[in-house]
Amino acid sequence: MHEAAMELHPPPAIFGFSGEQTSAAVNPSGDQTIEGVSFEGSQSGPFNGALSCLLLLLSSFSHCQAQLSPTFYDKTCPNALNIIRTAIRQAVSRERRMAASLLRLHFHDCFVQGCDASILLDESPTIESEKTALPNLASARGYDVIESVKLELEKACPGIVSCADVLTVAARDATAAVGGLSWTVKLGRRDSTTASRTIAGTDLPSPFANLDTLISSFASKGLNTRDMVALSGAHTLGQAQCFLFRDRIYGNRTDIDAGFANTRRRRCPKDTGNGNLAPLDVVTPNSFDNNYYKNLLQKKGLLQSDQVLFSGGATDSIVSEYARSPQAFQADFASAMIKMSEIQPLTGQNGIIRKVCGALN
């Protein structure tokens, strides 16, 4: 979750779910796709469903009108998903590390004001860019990839596909491009007209966080402990800067393998080399698999916030399960990504569709 300042920086009571539960089920066709299924209350018939929507309409007109849907662009930009998928595959093919960068960009977007593409906005007289917040400064990357995808979408269907949706789908496609499952993404997010450097500086979990802090931080975004452990598995990809793990490898701690610490010291001196990079998963740093969890069992978590997941606490059993079962990890990761991607989206008449992701129209 930290590249440079975490390649993937994962991670409100529940923002944007409206009592809705999102579950994930493996597509029975075996096509390696996770489909998000929503359950809202009881299994009512068409009349009751329409009546419920009418009642909600009286108090919240936009709620019934502006739900996210996987078919949102089917008529207005039918080739949108193909355009995004092709561009992301090409970007990851050029640089495998880009998969981790795009995942991290999506995480950092959703944890600040919800999934609204606020992280993509450049500094301006009216915008305090999140790009210069400490967790993103000189570490968040992939902005150019998102802009290039948006450019192609604007050629195909101007003013239709939001940057927030591009970023959400890009994270899914980047995961699939390096060996992860795919999953169904609900679409229809709109783009913010604001950004918050302050929230970006406070709401993104620290690489030095203890377990209770991580659990609380994720819970504040509507993500439970299992979601947190699954999303942390994104650290099977990417790299972290030396200054983020220096204390861990030089601290003579009991929660780190001595040989692993010695190896990491070679590229991370005590007093220099703050920006030197090390892979978060030393075994398969460019493949989306469950080796991250196997590393934790061996006390080879690079960051403090990694190893605390397996340190005699409440999440040990989940880490052990994911280390044993790559299928369980992949399915839970997809489910957690679906939940995260639906944190506080702007829909309906809220927000805008930016023409360029880095600027307001």
Residues 6 or more apart in contact with residue 228 via CB below 8 angstroms: 10, 11, 214, 215, 218, 315
Q: Which two tokens stand for residue 280?
A: 């978060």
| 2 is a catalytic site residue | no
If you search the block for the tokens 């398969």, which residue do you land on? Answer: 284
If you search the block for the tokens 């023409």, which residue do you land on? Answer: 355
Q: Which helix (H) or strand (E) holds 22?
A: strand 21-26
3-state secondary structure 65-93: HCCCECCCCCCCCCCHHHHHHHHHHHHHH
Beta-bridge partners for 38: 22
- The residue annotated as part of the active site, out of 2, 9, 106, 108, is 108
If you search the block for the tokens 């957690």, which residue do you land on? Answer: 336
Q: Residue 180: how many CB atoms within 10 A of its CB? A: 27
List the one residue out of 320, 345, 309 whose CA is nearest residue 12: 345
Q: Are 167 and 140 in contact (CB under 8 A)?
A: no
Dihedral of alpha carbons 104, 150, 115, 203, sign = positive
Q: Which two tokens stand for residue 28?
A: 């029975």
Can you tell me the distance from the alpha carbon of 119 to that of 133, in angstroms, rounded to the nearest whole number? 10
List the one residue out of 184, 163, 165, 170 whose CA is nearest residue 22: 184
Q: Which two tokens stand for residue 148?
A: 């290039």
Beta-bridge partners for 352: 191
- Residue count (the chain): 361
Let me know if 147 is exposed, middle or buried by CB neighbors in 10 A (0-12, 13-18, 19+). middle
Can you tell me the distance from the alpha carbon of 271 to that of 10, in angstroms, rounded to the nearest whole number? 28
Q: Where in the sequence numbering do the catalytic residues fall?
A: 108
